[in-house]
Chain A
Amino acid sequence: MEYVIEMLNITKEFPGIIANDDITLQVRKGEIHALLGENGAGKSTLMSVLFGLYKAEKGTIKVNGQVAKIHNPNDAKKYGIGMVHQHFKLVHNFTVLENVVLGVETVENGFLKLKDARERVEKISKQYNLFIDPDALISDISVGMEQRVEILKMLYRENEILIFDEPTAVLTPQEIDELMKIMKNLASEGKSIIFITHKLNEIKQVADRVTVLRKGKYIATVDVATTSKEEMSEMMVGRKVLFEVEKGEQKPGEVILEVKNLVVKSKHSHKNAVNNVSFKVRRGEILCIAGIEGNGQTDLVYALTGLTPIESGSLLFKGSDITRSTIRHRSVSGISHIPEDRHKHGLVLDYNLAENLVLQSYFQKDYQNNGFLKFDAIYKHASDLIKQFDIRSGEGVNSKTRSMSGGNQQKAIVAREIDKNPDLLIAVQPTRGLDVGAIEYIHKKLVEQRDAGKAVLLISLEMIEVMNVSDRILVMYEGELVGQADPKVVSQQELGLFMSGSKREVIE
């Protein structure tokens, strides 16, 4: 069988991590080849190598059987490789036509000549049923249409190998259906497509074969038609020795937080980021919201903590309505928040450790008197927490948090938020980027909070964390809750089906 693209034994290392470990990807002419894997599995790195953005340490790339040297994106374009990026690269105050010719303009005596270009754009648009108006301004057209412009750009440049990087993430279901049709159409016209995704439904719908990556390693390449979604899910997630978290039985108590029909507008597209979400969190339980990144979890947390306004719906915290409350009011009345981005939200990096440890409480009687900070109390509080939570740093309470390691920065945030003695602890990806020891520590702290009768809401992307730490799982997909599960009985494969949108059920 003839391959149009072959990436053989590609190895790409970054400091401290092997992003691609001996990966092989072979794409046939005219096929739609899916590249499947979790976040951090190495899909993007592999495509960046193919596109010339990274240089692999080992391995060869062949195009049409010939060894190809691709050092930068221009080389890739020479070989007819084009990419539709997840975030479109269009000039918003240009027309469709101007965007399409950008970089390959036809020029006569220093003046743009767009007549021929227009004819070609119209012809391509007709040939592939793209229905594009060449004179529309990008700022006026929908996200789905923008994507078609990106596709048209590739076709205009006569690319034969088209890479789609998670193309459905920003689309509505109808737009997705249309995209699938366009992709099939392209393949039938002889173009070869690499389709990066973690949504199994879409693979089933359009792809011919699928290559699965997991944690930088090549797992397998299989025919889509003869492989079930469950099998693909298992290949993607893998069955690894689980990192057990010691956890006793705990009986959930009264409801602490009740979310009713919550809707949050998206800042990036016309879809709702959180769409009609309702759930309850009780004392003494760790409720986990699982899901693949970018399915509305961040917006949900922002809405719960007050960082973003709510479109509609209501929040009841300990029986009182906090839908329109300020961040400060929510914080003082007993919500703690371990934020997703510890550098952006969690810490003032130019403040020292002591100052950061009172970031949520500096205004309280213990730490201020008539508006003057009580530094003795602040520093004593800091050294207590440092001991109690084992926060390590160069200069103790005086350390600039910028100079501390990620794990200790996170410990500082955890210490501050738990020290507030909250009724509800919202922890968003609390172990992201941490080493095994720090992960274990933070999991232990979460379980301790639960055992102390607090309600814990954990937002996680890590399957293992979801399975081990939580008492109850809700799965979020495209801004909606699509499944609920008991971690003791559910399988990772089944969770994977919920997370990829292949399966959904009504949540009562």
Chain B
Amino acid sequence: MKSKRFINLAYYLVALPVALSGKLGLAADDKVCLECHGSNQQVADAASAMDLKLTAERIERLVKHPAEPGNAHTGIACVDCHPKASEIPHPADTLKQSPCGACHEDALKQVNQSAHRDPLGGSQLRAPCWACHRAHDVRSVKDPGSAMAPVNVASRCLACHAKKEYLVGVHGQAIQLAGLDVSATCVSCHGSHDILAPSEKGSRVARRNISFTCGKCHGRVAEAYRKSAHGAALTANDNPDVPTCVDCHEAHGTLDPALPKFRLASPKTCGRCHASEKIMAKYGLSTQVYSTYVADFHGTTAELFRAASPDQPLNQAVCYDCHGYHDVESVRSSGDAQIKQRLLTRCQACHKAATASFLSAWTGHYVPSPTKYPLIYWVRVFYRLVIPGTIAFFLLYIAVDIVGRRRIRRSS
């Protein structure tokens, strides 16, 4: 008890003159602040002198380390942002309102319009400046040590947003593992101060804008997409059903499309929409494209191959080998002869000796019927009748035989 009182006394002996001199404006120099906030020990001592119980984390946060080279705010004093810190003991909230806005007016204006703005319209931002830029060790984004350097962006955003799959996606890995800083970070697609929710029209990741956002780096691909059956429908009338880049490639866990895994999973990707009655009915498209693909040789192999070795290269045709991917066209946009000609070229890419008569070895997703591919249809009908007929005949005979044998056994 005695020692505690002594420390208390000592605290006021130090703090009082500091406080008085602060009032006189002497604290523009951070030296005074650092007398308490210079190290963990100092903060701990000061806290116990004030009968405050602080956790180790809290202490750590109250330490103001000396500015390192690269810190953009070396010329700014503690009290510039913490004006009320000149009162001793410090009041609950030493920070002034919107401290960054004093210099970064434009940035603050943008944040105030963004998804991170104060929902009540005040200055309590959902994500305050220091959530992304750090409070004290603020650096230029070009500085690799900056919290907003490409390699660090994800860790800041992921602190609030549960999108960890970005780290294993092709973009995240390019940055984290390959050190490829030009690869996409969160802000490359979502924007920074002006970030908007995807549901908002002006958002960089709104359906209509995604191809342009991806197109910043993937220009030719995005252009081909906008001319495709999918992209054109989106541009023309905001079609809600067509896929954008992220529907096939995933927004965050983007899989490297050159990986065998992507190729093997691709029929399922297309099938998500093209096997859905709800979506396809609107456009009069067949929902049997996926099942007919799996029933055919290529699809059967792909399906079984995927089951056993999902990450090995597959040499069977998948949807996009025939239909194209970014430039996918509607089969209605070209005539029958043209389709056949192009299909033959495709077949010959693997089946060198294929001729025009080889083309009908694939029904073009049609289910055989009396009018379309009748030969296949009738063979199927034949077996659909002969199999149950034969087996029923066998079973019937066997039943009669069993009856007969029981009768003999009983009589003998």
Partners in one complex: no
B residues sitting closer than 8 Å to A (CB atoms) are: none
A residues sitting closer than 8 Å to B (CB atoms) are: none
